[in-house]
Chains A and B, each alone.
Chain A
């Protein structure tokens, strides 16, 4: 789906230039009645849908003059849908998406600047790295709603049987993870399972822990460097897989979700996953399966990870930008963010909502470590690199797959990543 983004964007932008004059706002109201706003929501879990409906219901009750209507849509194909809606001038007033997807719409001038509607209190509540991820050309183009981080889920019993002291504290190092993986690799079982069939997202997100940034600059002028900071994690995975033999090989070619099955079956003692998998593990793991989330992983530069939050934006062509921005501000209030993130098993992007959720769920399996990992989310330069999606699918993922299959060495990987970026961003 993503490989067609470039074609879709190019074709629609060209036609859109000729036809934007036909556009109108997303609001369908007129006259003296209440203002009517459309909110295209992508919530997909039953609990999250219910939480969204409650928040919108609360707003509508408290604001009889500004009524919000939810338009439920799906994640699949939403980029194509949005680019058509924006170019045709029929986008909803309020748009739910993710920072990586929404940034190009901001660059193209489709999103309202929310900076004037962001109170000093809210601004202080959002960590700088997360706020940076929704700031384009100095304008806040969305408010973050939900975050995920990469965490290590561990089979407590297997670690204890291997004589491993289960790490605690604010963070653990990648070297610790490697040692635990080695210690638990025995009797035909492996220390780690990591679904890396599409490894780019994880490697790019975790690179800040080693000082890796990948991109400098924005748009088509962004420059890519695949230096030691960017190469550290792929090389560590390579060493664990092919020197230590502590990663279950098949998982390197599987999706993250597929790598859960050997974890449940005791074939792997640990697995690296998106934090949201805590909800699935709680639901799907066999009875008596004793699991724990290990502390956030830290590289040579600390436990930083790049943030790609889910977001709410306002359509610049909306007839009611102010009201829509006020709704977004309401939606991202502390209680609402805590509720929606609890439902989705994700991390609230504001400090106050994270604290509220921590207080509510203290001691509940995995939540403390997951919420702690949210403290280290930082800005993600790749969000603002113009052709990132194309580079990710056509260059980086095949290159990483070749590297992990030992078809190319580290120098070959760096050359493919850098030369590939130059080609796609010409």
Chain B
């Protein structure tokens, strides 16, 4: 009986991966099918005829590469800003006691309940006054503001999980406050920072509504805005080029995750050694 346990585990894992990966496989398959095949009753994972024109059309049609570059700039900048602002704030929030902390937590939670449509017009006017309405820097600020509460909430959980006794031990050994933070807290917090960065990056990369309203010039459009241009009036959808565009759009995210995944593991091990 025990002999069967390991194959069953692998089978379960394979099924799980297949379940997760199937939509992506289907997307890749759709991206290389002809329009006729996509509109056929015959369902097949592999295309009958490989149709690379969808990629050419996706790349040529709506400035997809430029939009991807815009999205990358905004996502990386807003991720960096979110993390830099959220780390010290999260530390303070996690370590503080009393009414100030309660008020801070309350404000963070309240700030999450406003529908974006309530704030978009005042936001638009403020950014326009600052000359940032149709501007990637303005969008970066908006994304950062929008992501900060959740990033802070996420990070303060990681800080709270670090035993305060470790910091006290460091202080008793004569380390300054900054040394304690640098040598004990930050290494242990690294996995949380990486996870928060991943979350922030994906939130910004996929954000649609703010970008739709704030960006007016096609040269500033981000990827989600450009991808919607494959959806036309009267319900028309250019399915093949849209799938090709979506596949291309996923690549930077996959690369970013690939890089950060290693850091996430590294952070965990660093924490283990210090702990």
Contacts and interface: CB of A to CB of B under 8 A. Distances in A.
Interface string A29-46: 000000000000010111
A137 interface: no
A52 to B, nearest CB: 13
A12 B232 contact: no
Contact of B121 (A12, A71, A261, A264): A12
Interface stretch (A73-81, A331-339, A351-359, A412-420): A73-81
B41 A261 contact: yes
B208 interface: yes
A181 B265 CA distance: 64
Interface in A45-97: 45-46, 71-77, 80-81, 84-85, 87-88, 90
A364 to B, nearest CB: 20
A286 B129 CA distance: 56
A42 B233 contact: yes
Interface stretch (B14-22, B163-171, B210-218): B210-218
B40 A11 contact: no
Given A81-B212, A310-B233, A74 B128 contact: no
Q: Name the residue among A12, A73, A76 with the largest chain B CB count within 10 angstroms.
A: A76
B121 A19 contact: yes
Contact of A22 (B117, B125, B212): B125
B38 to A, nearest CB: 8
B interface, over-half SS: helix
Interface string A229-272: 00000000000000000000000000111001110110100000
A90 B228 contact: no
Contact of B235 (A8, A81, A255): A255
A260 B39 contact: yes
B115 A265 contact: no
Interface residues of A, number: 46
Contacts, number: 111
Nearest to A84: B213
B237 A257 contact: yes
A44 B115 contact: no
A44 B229 contact: yes
A411 interface: no
Q: Name the residue among A46, A77, A283 with the largest chain B CB count within 10 angstroms.
A: A77
A350 interface: no
B234 interface: yes
A71 B221 CA distance: 11
A75 B209 CA distance: 13
Contacts of B209: 77, 80
A170 interface: no
Contact of A90 (B36, B61, B133, B234): B133
B212 A80 contact: yes
B115 A77 contact: no
A16 interface: yes
B204 to A, nearest CB: 18
A391 interface: no
A19 B125 CA distance: 8
A7 interface: yes
Question: Number of contact residues on B: which range applies?
Answer: 35 or more
Contacts of B62: 72
Interface in B115-144: 115, 117-118, 120-122, 124-125, 128-129, 133
Nearest to B208: A77
B231 interface: yes
A274 interface: yes
B124 A84 contact: yes
Given A42-B233, A76-B228, A261 B117 contact: no
Contact of B41 (A7, A73, A148, A265): A265
A403 to B, nearest CB: 22
Contact of B124 (A88, A276, A285): A88
B236 interface: yes
A424 interface: no
A71 B233 contact: no
Contacts of A323: none
A15 B36 CA distance: 48
A98 interface: yes
Nearest to A98: B233
B41 A74 contact: no
Interface string A4-29: 10011001100110010010000000
B194 interface: no
A75 B41 contact: no
Given A44-B229, A77-B228, A84-B124, A264 B39 contact: yes
B236 A44 contact: yes
B159 to A, nearest CB: 36
A7 B114 CA distance: 13
Given A44-B236, A77-B209, A81-B213, A284 B121 contact: no
Nearest to A97: B233
A79 B225 CA distance: 14
29 contacts: A11-B118, A12-B117, A15-B118, A16-B121, A19-B122, A19-B125, A44-B232, A44-B236, A45-B232, A45-B236, A46-B61, A71-B217, A72-B62, A72-B218, A72-B229, A75-B228, A75-B231, A76-B228, A80-B213, A84-B120, A87-B121, A88-B124, A90-B216, A255-B235, A261-B41, A264-B36, A267-B41, A274-B234, A284-B39
Given A84-B121, A264-B40, 16 more contacts: A11-B115, A22-B125, A42-B233, A73-B218, A74-B225, A74-B228, A77-B228, A84-B213, A90-B128, A90-B216, A261-B39, A264-B41, A265-B42, A280-B39, A285-B36, A310-B233
Interface of B: 35-36, 39-42, 57, 61-62, 115, 117-118, 120-122, 124-125, 128-129, 133, 208-209, 212-213, 216-218, 225, 228-238
Interface of A: 4, 7-8, 11-12, 15-16, 19, 22, 42, 44-46, 71-77, 80-81, 84-85, 87-88, 90, 98, 148, 255-257, 260-262, 264-265, 267, 274, 276, 280, 283-286, 310
9 A-B pairs with least C-beta separation? A44-B232, A76-B228, A74-B229, A284-B36, A74-B228, A265-B41, A15-B121, A11-B117, A84-B213
